[in-house]
Amino acid sequence: MQQPTVLKETVIDCEGLSTQEINQRVKALAAEGIERVKLLNPAGKHNLAVGIVEPIEIEIIGSAGYYCGGLSSGLNLEVLGNCSWSLGENLMDGQIIVRGNASANAGATASGGRISILGNAGARAGISLKGGTLIVAGNVGYGSAFMMQQGRIVICGDAGDNLADSIYEGAIYVGGNIASLGADAKLEPMTAQDWQFLETELNSLEINFAEYDFKKIVSAKELHHFKAQDWFKFKDAY
Amino acid sequence: MCGIAGIIYRDSQKNSRLGRDLLRAIAPLESRGPDSCGVGVYRPEVRHSETKLVLRGTAQVDWQKLPQVLNGWAKIVETKQIDLDCWVRLELQNCTIDDLKVQLAKHFPQVHLQSSGQQLEVYKEVNDAASLFAKYNLAEFAGSHGLAHTRMATESMVDNLRAHPFMVAPDMCIVHNGQIANYHKLRFELERQGIEFETDNDSEAIALYLRVQLLQGMTLETALANLSQDFDGTYTFLVATPDKVGLVRDKYAAKPAVIYESETMVAIASEYRALLNIPDLDPRGSFREPDAGEINVWSVGSSSTKTLPARVISY
């Protein structure tokens, strides 16, 4: 008879521990060969699971604070709650799933990996994204994808004002309404490869891609070099 | 960074918790700025002919002389001395609070009128929340609503005068997180209208701008909408009156806020974790973040919320 695979799992109760103690324990457990760790009572603490470069599965039972999962590479993080500002900031590789909402700056400057938010994300989702994939099953707020440089953002719901302002490269897919596009952003027709990408990515989250009228936004690349006659194309802040 | 919090009860049975709930909401936010802490609490009204004052004193102030100083201006009904400060209940005699302020400044130049009104009492301290609450026994304060603030000073020095909340008018105050970018221009314009600034703190411009708007007859809602057009910079701020609490977020959503609403209360804080500290949160209650440019106004003791549509950004 085949033996079932049993992951070596352990639990950390965050109550009464400092963030440093929690993250050090996670790292120590990963070094011991523990494959999965559960964090209980996170109570919205900041900097949980930050700087994790070991391939460990982390499950946070409850809501996390700022920078959750940030500066990590190769972790596999799941949050059963909401996340505050800057979820997965500067993520290099790995997987983050939030079964709740994320606040502003989700996935900021991430250069790899995949961040999935099954609820809504706040303002500036995917700001300065440098690679990897950010998926938001709900809506995103004001100024999302600002100055994105690479990678892909999938938004199943609506996008707030100034989406994709001053992006360099990469693509953004929006299933719902776009309040307004930022400077130098343009709509581009969806290709078969785009639909294929969405199908693969969203199927893995049990989201039916065909239910959404996805639109693709890319950089028009007209403002990469400043020319005085383009002045009117720059959307002024005031 | 600064931390702000606001508590509003829709069920007056909860009023006895106000002080404790404010402390629970503001204490975790001290990591956002530990320079000073302050609260504005709306406590049961005094008699309609009376006014409450919270006066900040120094070691040089002899509070025994207060009745003499105010003689002919106000009849003092009750005074309570707390450390160097004085809480006063009085009846104004043919004068306004502004007249009284002039009289106080003349005889007690060291004294600062921290709050006035029939409900509002403002307490602040260059210290942590626990010390502030212990000094004035604020945890035992009952009331319908209140604001709290913990400061990281960025624009002006750390002292009691520049600590939040800032008074707008009798019974009206604000707490602010952020920076006002066009402060000097706004201050110039307000001063030309005869408004006097007491400090060089940019948050005071919010309070005084609202004062002018309300004196011109605007509703709170209109005044807040006008403010979000005229103020550049980053801000999330709360404003309270005896019957309303407003929350305004700048058009870039640069400063945080989380709103918890249930049938019995509304709580607002800079961070989610501060709200988790409040006991018996209703699982049917909602948590949400206001959008960029969003203005919310709650009526105290009622279940209504007015969310004004986010301002249309025109280019």
ipTM: 0.87
Same domain for A150 and A107, yes or no, is no
Same domain for A200 and A106, yes or no, is no
Each residue's pLDDT tens digit, B9-33: 999 999 999 999 999 999 999 999 9
* CATH of residue B148: 3.60.20.10
What token pair was written down for B241? 């009156």
Residue B18: how many CB atoms within 10 A of its CB? 25
Same domain for A91 and A165, yes or no, is no
Domain membership flag for residue A94:
yes
Domain membership flag for residue A134:
no
Is residue A138 pLDDT above 90, yes or no? yes
Domain membership flag for residue B101:
no
Burial string for A208-233 (b: 16+ CB within 10 Å, else e) reads ebeebebbbbbbbeeeeeeeeeeeee
Measure B194 CA to nearest chain A CA, in Å. 28
Each residue's pLDDT tens digit, B29-40: 999 999 999 999
Domain membership flag for residue A231:
yes
Same domain for A111 and A33, yes or no, is yes
Give the three-class secondary structure for A230.
Answer: helix
Same domain for A172 and A221, yes or no, is yes
Same domain for A2 and A89, yes or no, is yes
Same domain for A115 and A4, yes or no, is yes
The overall longest dimension of chain B from CA atoms, in Å, is 60
Measure B4 CA to nearest chain A CA, in Å. 16
Domain membership flag for residue B102:
no
Edge-to-edge strands of the sheet including B112-117?
A: B74-82, B85-92, B50-56, B112-117
Domain membership flag for residue A150:
yes
Edge-to-edge strands of the sheet including A215-219?
A: A9-13, A36-40, A57-61, A73-80, A93-98, A114-117, A130-136, A150-155, A171-174, A215-219, A185-188
Domain membership flag for residue A133:
no
Which residue, A91, A84, A94, A68, is CA-closest to A119?
A84
Domain membership flag for residue A135:
no
Answer yes or no: do B313 and A122 touch at CB < 8 A.
no
Domain membership flag for residue B251:
yes
Domain membership flag for residue B268:
yes
Same domain for A112 and A172, yes or no, is no
Number of domains making up chain A: 2
**Residue B2 annotated in active site:** yes
- What range defines the domain where residue B153 resides? 3-44+119-308
What token pair was written down for B119? 């409900």
Is residue A94 pLDDT above 70, yes or no? yes
* pLDDT mean over A32-50: 95
What token pair was written down for A185? 């952003």
Domain membership flag for residue A51:
yes
Same domain for A155 and A197, yes or no, is yes
Same domain for A114 and A146, yes or no, is no
| φ and ψ of B190, to 5 deg | -70, -40
Answer yes or no: do A160 and B251 touch at CB < 8 A.
no
Q: List the Cα angle B142/B147/B153 in 5-degree steps.
A: 140
- What range defines the domain where residue A53 resides? 1-119
Answer yes or no: do A161 and B287 touch at CB < 8 A.
no
Same domain for A112 and A159, yes or no, is no
CA–CA separation, A102 and A89 (whole Å):
12
CA dihedral A83, A86, A91, A97 (to 10 degrees): 20
Across chain B, mean pLDDT equals 93
Number of domains making up chain B: 1
Per-residue model confidence (pLDDT) at position A170 = 97
At CB < 8 Å, which residues of chain B contact A?
31, 232, 251-253, 256, 258, 271-273, 276, 287, 289, 291-293, 313, 315
B142, with CB counted inside 10 A (0-12, 13-18, 19+), is middle
Per-residue model confidence (pLDDT) at position B301 = 79
Centroid of chain to Cα A75: 14
DSSP state of A80: E
Domain membership flag for residue A199:
yes
Which residue, B91, B120, B132, B135, is CA-closest to B245?
B120
Tokens 């306004």: give the residue.
B96
pLDDT exceeding 90 applies to what percent of chain B?
Answer: 90
The reply to whether A166 touches chain B by the CB within 8 Å rule is: no
Is residue B312 pLDDT above 50, yes or no? no
Measure A43 CA to nearest chain B CA, in Å. 6
Same domain for A113 and A214, yes or no, is no
Residue B191: how many CB atoms within 10 A of its CB? 12
